[in-house]
Amino acid sequence: MMLQPLTALLSLRGLLGAIAVWAAAIEGISSLPAQETFTLTPKRKATPATKVTLSLKASGKLNFSENGEATSSPMTLSAAMEYDERLVENSKDRTRLVRKYQTAQADMTIGEGRLAPRLPVDKRLVAVELKAGPHGNVAEIVAVERPMTREELDLLTYPAGAVLLESLLPDQPVKIGDRWTISPDVAAQLLAIDVAGNSELEAALAEVAPGRTGRLLLFGRVEGAIGGVATDIDVEGEMEFDIAAGLVRTLKLKIKEKRNIGHVGPGLDVECQVDMAIAPAQGKAGLRPEAAAAIDWDSLPRELLYVSPSGKFQFAHPRTWHAVEEQAGGIMLRMLDRGELIAQCNVALTKPAEPDKPLSIGRFEEAVRKTLGERFGKVVLAREFTTDAGLAVLSVIAEGNVQGLAIQWHYYLASDERGNQASLVFTLEPNLLERIGGSHMAMIRSLRFIGGAATAAKGPERK
């Protein structure tokens, strides 16, 4: 079962065009005579919590490559979000805000399959931090009380987050008909991609209605990348800004995206409609200021949690690791760093351990040699240790050669007192070991077996 269609589409990073119509409209308003100037300045610091309602609909196809052959599957997606949002910090270096979700759900079809993710009640208090990183701006979304799964994170990662809309406003007074360029960093954040290498995204003030509500047009094309994969996105939309209150009120956005097939996800050819409304939060049941102020930002559970479909094991992993394929008894993950494939990890339940016949490190090393066969070169390290959770772990690191390329394998066999046992194999080039840091060891030390005593594991039957 491929997992990344959910990642690629719930995080939606793009969709529709029809830019010619918008270009004609802009040419028309740009010829207007000199008029009053308007200052479109956000005033979130002076406002209480806001209520955000978002709906998102998408359709198109996912493109895959299986055994060198191109295949595709039709898809549809309908998502709904409703949450209170409170700004807690807005400095030059970072923006921090807190959300309390009342609704976060999606319904998605891929071919004949269906997915219906929902955000659990105990993960609806969410912290969001936007800050500058070495390779562009970074947005981090974290559930305050418990670690999120990748699917839950993807559910909350969508284009046009409310706080980002203020970045679309001009930094100087404008007249009706004026247009301005949206920076590549803001374009990338708006569309939830990693980088906008070539951005032609623009905005314009189309009119100011009675009541001092400005209507802004958004239009253009963005060529960027997500997960190291090229993506082309056409954008058209409009946004309403309450000039007196200093608040964005509505957004309607149409997006069309074509994305290449990547290391951890399918290619996309999809169209999407995003509708967002923002208003002052009402009632006492929403996000209280004391709840937002009480969050310890340094202790948030930023790692993601993976729970096997069988419910028999779980572990935490950094966000750079992506689950790409599940089998009946295990999971394959890949680590990406700035779009580069760094390592692969295969986790699988094995047959129950025999308490009276524990596997020795010597026998485990011999099993690794036999498994690698002609690829085996040498053993770099063989050891055994016990995790804080009480799991006994055998570890063998071996080096070898695959088609002229030096490869390093990190084999781990973890077992508990009830006979539960799992193998974890990390595969990478030796010169990339520094890039994975200690993430592989953190995954092993966080491994937990769920339930009672072990039962015989099923074979690798694909879902």
At 185-219, the pLDDT tens digits run 889 888 888 888 899 999 999 999 888 899 999 99
Q: Measured between alpha carbons, how far is 30 from 20 in angstroms, rounded to an integer? A: 15
Q: What is the 3-state secondary structure (H, E, C) of 188-255?
A: HHHCCCCEEEEECCEEEEEEEECCCEEEEEEEEEEEEEECCEEEEEEEEEEEEEECCCCEEEEEEEEE
CA 218 to chain centre: 24
Residues 6+ apart with CB under 8 A from 322: 4, 7, 150, 227, 264, 265, 333, 334, 335, 336
Do 10 and 150 form a contact (C-beta atoms < 8 A)?
no
Topology alike, domains 4-299 and 304-449: no
Per-residue pLDDT tens for 354-409? 777 789 999 999 999 999 999 999 999 999 999 999 999 999 999 999 999 999 99
Q: Measured between alpha carbons, how far is 448 from 315 in angstroms, rounded to an integer? A: 6
What is the DSSP secondary structure assignment for residue 134, as one 8-state letter? B
Do 188 and 171 form a contact (C-beta atoms < 8 A)?
no
> Region 336-348: what's the mean pLDDT?
91
Q: How far is CA 437 from CA 183, 304, 306, in A?
A: 33, 17, 20
**Per-domain residue ranges of the chain:** 4-299, 304-449
> Region 140-155: what's the mean pLDDT?
94
- Pairing assessment for the beta strands 376-386 and 229-242 based on DSSP bridges: unpaired
> Region 173-190: what's the mean pLDDT?
92
**CATH no. for 4-299:** 2.30.230
Write down the pLDDT at residue 137: 63
Write down the pLDDT at residue 386: 97
pLDDT averaged over every residue in the chain: 86
| The one-letter amino acid at 79 | A
Task: Give the residue from 81, 85, 60, 21 showing the smallest Cα distance to 280.
Answer: 85
Write down the pLDDT at residue 444: 96
Write down the pLDDT at residue 136: 58
∠340-227-440 over CA atoms, to 5°? 60
- pTM for the whole structure: 0.84
Residues 6+ apart with CB under 8 A from 399: 377, 378, 380, 406, 407, 408, 409, 430
Most confident of 11-15, 42-46, 142-146: 142-146
Write down the pLDDT at residue 40: 92
Q: Higher model confidence: residue 367 or residue 352?
A: 367
> Region 245-268: what's the mean pLDDT?
92
Write down the pLDDT at residue 219: 97
Q: Measured between alpha carbons, how far is 152 from 109 in angstroms, rounded to an integer? A: 17
What is the DSSP secondary structure assignment for residue 24, as one 8-state letter? H
Q: Higher model confidence: residue 95 or residue 45?
A: 95
Residue 199 CB: number of other CB atoms within 10 A? Answer: 24
Q: 304-449: which CATH architecture?
A: 3-Layer(aba) Sandwich (3.40)
Write down the pLDDT at residue 163: 67
Per-residue pLDDT at 7 exceeds 90? no
| The one-letter amino acid at 146 | R
